[in-house]
Amino acid sequence: MKNIIEELQWRGLVHDIMPGTEEQLLKEMTATYIGFDPTSDSLHIGSLVPIILLVHLENFGHKPIALVGGATGMIGDPSGKSDERNLLDEATLNHNVEGIKNVLSRFLDFNSSASNAPILVNNYDWMKGLSFINFARDVGKRITVNYMMAKDSVKKRLSGEGEGMSFTEFTYQLIQGYDFYHLHKEYNCLLQMGGSDQWGNITTGTELVRRMNAEGAKAFAMTCPLITKADGSKFGKSEGGNVWLTADKTSVYKFYQFWLNTTDIDAEKYIKIFTFLDKNTIDSLVATHHEAPHLRVLQKKLAEEVTTFVHSAADLEKAIHASAILFGNATSDDLKQLDEATFLEVFDGVPQANISRNEIDNGIDIVSVLNEKTGFFKSNGEARRALSANSIAVNKEKVTEEFSLSNANLINNQFVLLQSGKKNYFVIRVV
């Protein structure tokens, strides 16, 4: 087997690793699982790292198991949290579980017939039939309270300010540990991976495997670092909140722009973590970037690779077109290729005015459009002077005073983009 740990190390994806893990992965195909918490019906880019880990595992000949926490989601993981989580109702939880399954299915083929085909599981399926008495007797008996109290996720909550930790959240590590035991028994799963904040939960799982399964049962653990920005701030957030992996929550245009706007330092780190480009290619890109940072070679390649991986090559092209409209020499045809959501996002914050469809049907002279109908200019005289100076464009095409606005000029049968000079935009919406 090729050395996956070596690969993950140079990419900066290894934080803690249990002795023997590397040897196990070199020895044979190894079933490995990562859990996903259904706190929403989608996943944001913070979840890209565990997804990428699963894809690396499959590419290196190992068997990835993606676990959606239908049961653990009812409790809430205390790791990295200073307060008790609000519990989700069952309908919301089921909705979220289905949403996450759909997201994961875009990256891993759970219908594959390969020997290392990925598996998708929901821990609710084996937890729902487990009684509290049986759990307390068969699982709770194996792990001491002293062991559980020593975990950082518990210590921080008990020693910090606030209300401490409920018994519900205290049991979380046991329930997650039981998942590992179950997957070990059912699928011979030998390794669990996760973020560095999961180390306590994962190692509890390895202990349960050793104590509940047959004598000599092996289990391993590995965590990856939690991704941060160079300035120390949290990764995965933009001004509008989380950057999601589904276009209904974060448009492909905004997703692409997020990666494009990465700082030089972060881009150098992220291109190793979030792409599958080989070391030679990345080293070459970094060298090129250092020679001419203003060209933003790294950021462009990063944005292209991640957008294609998460969405598609076709979606990437649309995002590049959309970006060119604001920042390049776009044409009227480029504008007309934008869907409504992307158009509105590209021109978010640009002044708007409504014009009735009847008026458009009959055609409106451009001077009236610029002044009376929109207020883009304060007077007809000001509008005429701008037109005479050849500084007015409709849908990126220069127009003269003789121009009349009609249905033929509509983008998505709904919008018209006015422009004065290079940077002054105005959006007309036909209602």
Assigned CATH topology for domain 352-430: 3.10.290
Per DSSP, what are the bridge partners of residue 364?
405
The pLDDT confidence band at residue 241, using thresholds 50, 70 and 90, is: confident
Instruction: Give the model confidence (pLDDT) of 109-120 as tens digits.
Output: 999 999 999 999
**What is the average per-residue pLDDT within 204-221?**
86
64 compared with 322, residue with greater pLDDT:
64
Q: Are 335 and 417 in contact (CB under 8 A)?
A: yes
**What is the average per-residue pLDDT within 287-296?**
95
pLDDT of residue 169: 75
The amino acid at 233: S
Domain boundaries, the chain: 4-224, 237-328, 352-430
Q: Are 273 and 11 in contact (CB under 8 A)?
A: yes
Tokens standing for residue 336: 């007309």
- Of the chain, the percentage scoring pLDDT greater than 90 comes to 57
pLDDT of residue 138: 83
Nearest CA-CA partner of 375 in 310, 317, 424, 305? 424
How many whole angstroms separate alpha carbon 205 and alpha carbon 404?
71
Residues 6 or more apart whose CB falls under 8 angstroms from that of 123 comprise 35, 67, 68, 69, 70, 71, 72, 175, 179, 182
- 162 burial level (CB within 10 Å; 0-12, 13-18, 19+): exposed
Instruction: Give the model confidence (pLDDT) of 330-369 as tens digits.
Output: 777 778 778 888 888 888 878 999 999 988 888 999 999 9
pLDDT of residue 88: 77
CATH 3.40.50.620 fits 4-224, yes or no: yes
**What is the average per-residue pLDDT within 138-160?**
77
The pLDDT confidence band at residue 134, using thresholds 50, 70 and 90, is: confident
For residue 214, what are the CA distances in angstroms to 44, 159, 177, 220?
38, 37, 16, 16
pLDDT at position 38 over 70: yes
Instruction: Give the model confidence (pLDDT) of 390-415 as tens digits.
Output: 999 999 899 999 999 998 899 888 99
Lowest-confidence pick of 260-269, 313-322, 375-384: 313-322
Averaged pLDDT of the chain:
89
pLDDT at position 104 over 90: yes
Tokens standing for residue 17: 């690793």
The one-character DSSP state at 46 is: G
The pLDDT confidence band at residue 172, using thresholds 50, 70 and 90, is: confident
Length of the chain: 431
pLDDT of residue 90: 82
> At 221, which helix (H) or strand (E)?
strand 220-224
**What is the average per-residue pLDDT within 189-200?**
93
The one-character DSSP state at 244 is: B
How many whole angstroms separate alpha carbon 222 and alpha carbon 220?
7
Assigned CATH topology for domain 237-328: Tyrosyl-Transfer RNA Synthetase (1.10.240)
Tokens standing for residue 327: 């920042």
